[in-house]
Amino acid sequence: MPTKPETPSLLEYFADLPDPRIDRCKDHALIDIIAIAILATICGAEHFTEMEEFGEAKQDWLKTFLELENGIPSHDTFVRVFARIKPSAFQERFISWVQAVRTLTKDEVIGVDGKTARRSHNKGAGIGPLHLVNAWATRNRLVLGQVKVDEKSNEITAVPELLRLLEINGCIVTVDALNAQKEVANEIREQGGDYVMALKENHPKLHAEVTGIFEAVREDQNADGALSQTESVEKNHGRTETRRCWSVEAPEWLTGFAE
């Protein structure tokens, strides 16, 4: 991969993406196809026909930075090109570009979570649903990366793989109880990040220890365990939500993800 340019230009990040087409089938520059597809998707396009429609509607503007020697590619062209591009090569460049575009600030909160794509399964063909793990930058409102969960594996192995693609130094990474694992915690710490992990009874010993700490502090049995509380009130979707959070400094003897 080339060194990141000072200005995070989409064209520069994808300039060296291998073109899977033979020369006589290149009516459109690969970078034109890629740029239109990404920009159309950012604007809400969900199908290849909508990418073509976006290109036609924005052709004058696109010509200011794309070649478009033969006009806007057809939706069939988008289909053929994206069917042949190596996904990992595209993903590597896309993630690098997104991370350059976003303003990485100290204490950015990155939420990591899994999601199953709706209507992605095909029982007749024996194809199971597509399960993805995403990293979402809450402050910048950007998806920073995405990894497909292998059919023979689960999120626990996919999350460290996703984290290795990201720049998380100085950030706070949040994960659900399923991914509250030592491997995930170690990957975050090695990259200079901090983590917030949901803790449930899938880790019975640690869950019992943490529960006991809070109970002891509330009953003033632990003089060193100062309890802090934060409360927020939000009104959304016709309802009022009150959230309360209690925190206490972890004692040195606590076992868990820190070792």
pLDDT digits (tens, 9 = 90+) for 174-213: 999 989 998 999 999 999 999 999 999 888 988 998 888 8
Tokens matching residue 231: 């409360």
Residue 123's pLDDT band, with cuts at 50, 70 and 90, is: low
| pLDDT > 70? residue 34 | yes
Question: E-assigned strands of the chain?
Answer: 109-116, 131-137, 142-148, 172-175, 194-197, 227-236, 239-248
Q: Say whether 88 sits in a helix, a strand or coil.
A: helix
On average, the pLDDT of the chain sits at: 83
CATH code that applies to domain 105-197: 3.30.420.10
Residue 104's pLDDT band, with cuts at 50, 70 and 90, is low
C-alpha distances out from residue 68 to 19, 44, 78, 186, 226, Å:
17, 22, 14, 47, 64
pTM for this prediction? 0.60
Q: What is the CA radius of gyration of the chain?
A: 23
Instruction: Give the 3-state secondary structure of 146-206.
Output: EEECCCCCCHHHHHHHHHCCCCCCCCEEEECHHHCCHHHHHHHHHCCCEEEECCCCCCHHH
Per-residue pLDDT band for 122 (boundaries 50, 70, 90) equals low
The pLDDT, as a whole number, for residue 105 is 56
CA-to-CA separations, 73 to 47, 50, 65, 131, in angstroms, rounded: 14, 12, 16, 30
The residue among 223, 207, 188 whose CA lies nearest residue 256 is: 207
Closest CA to 108 of 149, 137, 88, 143: 137
- Per-residue model confidence as pLDDT tens digits over 204-240: 988 998 888 888 887 775 555 577 888 999 888 889 9
Residue 3 has pLDDT above 50, yes or no: no
Residue 73: pLDDT band by 50, 70, 90 thresholds? very high
- Reference 243, options 228, 254, 233; nearest CA is 233
Provide CATH 3.30.420.10 ranges for the chain: 105-197
The backbone torsions φ and ψ at residue 194, rounded to the nearest 5 degrees and listed phi first, read -115, 165
